[in-house]
Amino acid sequence: MPRIPDRATKNQPSPFRPARGGRALSPPTGTPPFWRSFSVLRWVCGVLLPVLLLLAPLTRAHAAPPHRAAVPGASPPLRTAIHHLLTIINRDRLAHHLPPLKLSGRQSRCSLAHSRQMARDDALSHDQFPTDICVPHGWSAENVGYYTAGPKVAIRQLHRMMMSEGPCPHAGCPGDEWFAHDHYVNLMDPAYHRIGIGLVVRDGTTWLTEDFTN
């Protein structure tokens, strides 16, 4: 079984396609010590305490672990592999000054269904595209591939091969250029902001579907 990703396809776009200042308080001249203590207490209660209360939730928010989108239907090892693949993709997009892709749990469910079909048929295909895009979108694209290894190794190898295609040498990828660079173009397209990832392992082979939407 060859270890290559399949060609990606891309559909046409649909026509329907964001300080407050303060003042210091000084006690009157010649006032007793208790007035000085009272002024300090007023400052603590009126200024310092509200600031501390505002900072507390901000500190907790920064310390919270990053949110991970749910991946319906995927086992824990495959969920880990999916999030790892997303990290690799976004690392490469960042290196090209592109915004990161956000994982769509809803689209990942539909991408998973397509990967399961390819595993059952033992063949790569785009026969469900673009009907397997199940989120609102204007643009969409799909990468599929398989690799004879577990998901941890497979996702790295498939992503490496897709990225090795490089960008099209000419604007718009005329002629056969698209078919030689389509996986890379889909991964690095700035028009896309979301991705659905479906991973299936069958008889030692990992099947991958990546669906991109704007």
Per-residue pLDDT of 37-95, as tens digits, reads: 444 445 444 554 454 445 444 333 333 344 466 676 678 899 999 999 999 999 999 99
Closest CA to 183 of 158, 154, 202: 158
pTM confidence score: 0.69
| Angstrom distance (rounded) from CA 64 to CA 181 | 39
Closest CA to 156 of 82, 105, 69, 68: 82
Strand bridging mode 194-202 / 9-10: unpaired
Taking the mean position of all CA atoms in its chain, how far away is CA 55? 29
Residue 1 pLDDT more than 50? no
